[in-house]
Structure 1
Amino acid sequence: MSGPNALQVLAGYSPDDRGEDALALAALVTRGAGASLAVAHVHPPPWPAHGPGRVDAEWVAYLRSQADEALAQAAERLGGLAVPRERVTVRAHPHRGSGRGLAEVAREVGAGLIVIGSAPRGRRGRIAIGSTADQLLHGSPVPVMLAPRGYAGHAPGRLERLTIAYWRRRDVAGPLLAAAEFAGTLGLPMRLVTLVLRPPGLAARFQTAGGVLERQVAQADEDLREAAGFLGGGAPVERLTSVGTGIDKALGTVDMLPGEVLACHSSHDAPLRRVFLGESSGKIVRAAPCPVLVLPRGAGPAAAGAAGPPGGESPG
């Protein structure tokens, strides 16, 4: 994909493991989509000193030198990840909130995707939501993709498939089409997955509970068929209904390719065209063993205004 409508990716970089994870994932997206890549290092703004309107010159120089060093390191790393230098731009941006700073940069460069790494406290191979992710996952104007902790150490050679965590709901058409457009840009096959939650403990043993569960699975299968039909027109869309006593258990039974990306939509309570992580989506992000793409509510191409799958309610 090239030309004026090519995807612009923004990677948030800090000179640590999470920065390396973000670059590894952003490089895969950039190469797969023929995209342009902006790398931003958000640093604290200078504090006023010696009276209003003045700042400490030495502190400003230090911040700039640290930012320049980090961005030079990022550019060098991207060369080793086979991202053409002419597709890469770097910029430092002062802001007290790293996530809000990245959202500002995304608007300035016209980014269609922000890529970040996991907070350092998380389990390896999983995503932990730190302050940067929290700010972006509660207000980003564009989709956010998160790399699991340690992703750079075992990143695949390419992305292989986009799995969409799907629940029927009233505003699903836009995010569904946005995910399909993203898959098309990267040349990825799609899979739709619905997670059906089984009652825990003794309740699951009662016959009535089993009957309810069977009906839920049957409804989920029908919803997936309708959603796949709505996407239509391209390659067949794989469908899967997975059952578990919680989102982590249900998602744990879903096979994932080395180059898998899992997409989920924002809460239906989110502001329109903003990312806002709901309870269920938050659990999916934390349980996923692969990168996760979080789509804003109401996201989608111009076609998203068309009639979509029947409405309903999601648990998130």
Structure 2
Amino acid sequence: MRFDNILAGAIPEPRGRDGIVLAALLAKQTGARLTVAAVQPPAWTTPGPARAEETAWRTYLEEQAESTLTQARQIVGDDADYVIHMHKGSGRGLVELARRRGADVVVIGSAPGGGKGRIEIGSTADQLLHSSSVPVLLAPRGFADEPPGAFERITVAYRRGPSADAAVVSAARAAAALEVPLRLVTLVVSSGRRVEVEERMLERLRDQTAADLRAAARGHRRRLEVEVEVLEGRNVGQALATASWVSGELLLCASSTGGPLRRVFLGDTSVKIVRAATCPVMILTRQP
């Protein structure tokens, strides 16, 4: 995974600051080039008397986009490129722009409706998380209010399989680029009360999961500090809550194996992880 070129989506709302601040933090720590983009819908082209309305609408869109980028510039300063891109869908517009500019990751904030410190998936994120050809990084609501000074650790939600193993390789490269330790965690979701046979099966699952984590970490410890941990709870949220999380945490998830190659595709478990996480989450593209 490279962090040479970062694309951040900007919107004319206070919550848009979260994605901008997160992207600026990543760019600062990696020395990447940062592009901040405002995606606006194209004005309609209706001949006749509606021409005046079209002109007024186009002017309004341009002013709104410029205002959005001005707000972003107040956060980032001159250490970024600022562009306006026209597309009917904000998420699809960012996908298109990322391809054109050769971005390595796209960064956006949370949709409205989620709690502070949590991530809500809206229409923009949904479009990105089902079609982006580069990883997508999501900022929790309120991230810009108290951002960490730097990333301190990368945690990977790991489940044995080719896609997850490729995610560990990508995460190790990212950890090396950020100069932070790497942690691999596997979530074990179990019911509360269990009969003896279920308890024995669960114990075997814990042992197998721990072995899988050790195997996944093997080979990366020569150049990185790597720790592994099994997280258990009655649901994804409870399991995540059993772990300790540092201020500068970055959580990585692999795309669903059912999605297209070289694209981001969010599966059911990843959706639950994203919504339960209390730190920025990056969804990787599916690797062969």
TM-score, L = length of structure 2: 0.95
Alpha-carbon separation, structure 1, partners of 2:260 and 2:89: 20
> Do 2:38 and 2:65's aligned partners in 1 also have CA atoms closer than 8 Å?
yes
Alpha-carbon separation, structure 1, partners of 2:225 and 2:3: 25
Query: Partner residue of 1:56?
Result: 54
| Structure 2 residue 97 is the aligned partner of structure 1 residue 143 | no
| Structure 2 residue 61 is the aligned partner of structure 1 residue 72 | no
* TM-aligned CA deviation for residue 296 of structure 1: 0.7
**SS of structure 2 residue aligned to 1:76:** helix
Query: Partner residue of 2:12?
Result: 15
Alpha-carbon separation, structure 2, partners of 1:18 and 1:105: 21
* TM-aligned CA deviation for residue 172 of structure 1: 2.9
Alpha-carbon separation, structure 2, partners of 1:212 and 1:78: 52
**SS of structure 1 residue aligned to 2:103:** coil
Alpha-carbon separation, structure 2, partners of 1:70 and 1:235: 40
Identity of aligned residues (%): 48
**SS of structure 2 residue aligned to 1:152:** coil
> Do 1:17 and 1:150's aligned partners in 2 also have CA atoms closer than 8 Å?
no
Alpha-carbon separation, structure 2, partners of 1:88 and 1:94: 19
Structure 2 stretches lacking a partner, 5+ long: none
Structure 2: which amino acid aligns with 1:117? G
> Do 2:6 and 2:103's aligned partners in 1 also have CA atoms closer than 8 Å?
yes
Aligned length: 286
> Do 2:187 and 2:230's aligned partners in 1 also have CA atoms closer than 8 Å?
yes
> Do 2:163 and 2:255's aligned partners in 1 also have CA atoms closer than 8 Å?
no
* TM-aligned CA deviation for residue 127 of structure 1: 0.3
Structure 1: which amino acid aligns with 2:240? L
Query: Partner residue of 1:88?
Result: 80
Alpha-carbon separation, structure 1, partners of 2:235 and 2:219: 28
Query: Partner residue of 1:303?
Result: none
* TM-aligned CA deviation for residue 6 of structure 1: 5.8
* TM-aligned CA deviation for residue 62 of structure 1: 1.8
* TM-aligned CA deviation for residue 59 of structure 1: 1.7
Alpha-carbon separation, structure 2, partners of 1:44 and 1:235: 45
Query: Partner residue of 1:111?
Result: 103
The Cα RMSD (Å) is 1.8
Alignment counterpart, residue 177 of structure 1, candidates 169, 190, 205: 169
Deviations 1:13-67 (A, max 9, x none): 112122100011111101110111000011111012226xx78222212211211
> Do 2:3 and 2:104's aligned partners in 1 also have CA atoms closer than 8 Å?
no
Alpha-carbon separation, structure 2, partners of 1:160 and 1:59: 45
1:191-270 correspondence runs (5 A): 191-198=183-190, 200-201=191-192, 204-270=193-259
Structure 2: which amino acid aligns with 1:76? Q
Alpha-carbon separation, structure 1, partners of 2:188 and 2:3: 37
> Do 1:18 and 1:116's aligned partners in 2 also have CA atoms closer than 8 Å?
no
Alpha-carbon separation, structure 1, partners of 2:96 and 2:124: 13
Query: Partner residue of 1:284?
Result: 273
Query: Partner residue of 1:274?
Result: 263
Deviations 1:226-265 (A, max 9, x none): 0000434312311101111111110111110011011010
| Structure 2 residue 34 is the aligned partner of structure 1 residue 45 | no
| Structure 2 residue 17 is the aligned partner of structure 1 residue 28 | no
Query: Partner residue of 2:159?
Result: 167
**SS of structure 1 residue aligned to 2:230:** strand
1:172–1:205 Cα change, 3 Å: closer
Alpha-carbon separation, structure 1, partners of 2:106 and 2:3: 15
Alpha-carbon separation, structure 2, partners of 1:228 and 1:175: 12
**SS of structure 1 residue aligned to 2:15:** helix
**SS of structure 2 residue aligned to 1:256:** coil
* TM-aligned CA deviation for residue 174 of structure 1: 2.4
**SS of structure 2 residue aligned to 1:56:** helix
Alpha-carbon separation, structure 2, partners of 1:217 and 1:206: 17
Structure 1: which amino acid aligns with 2:213? L
Alpha-carbon separation, structure 2, partners of 1:96 and 1:72: 22
Alpha-carbon separation, structure 2, partners of 1:244 and 1:286: 16
TM-score, L = length of structure 1: 0.87
Structure 2: which amino acid aligns with 1:139? S
Alpha-carbon separation, structure 1, partners of 2:212 and 2:287: 19
**SS of structure 2 residue aligned to 1:231:** coil
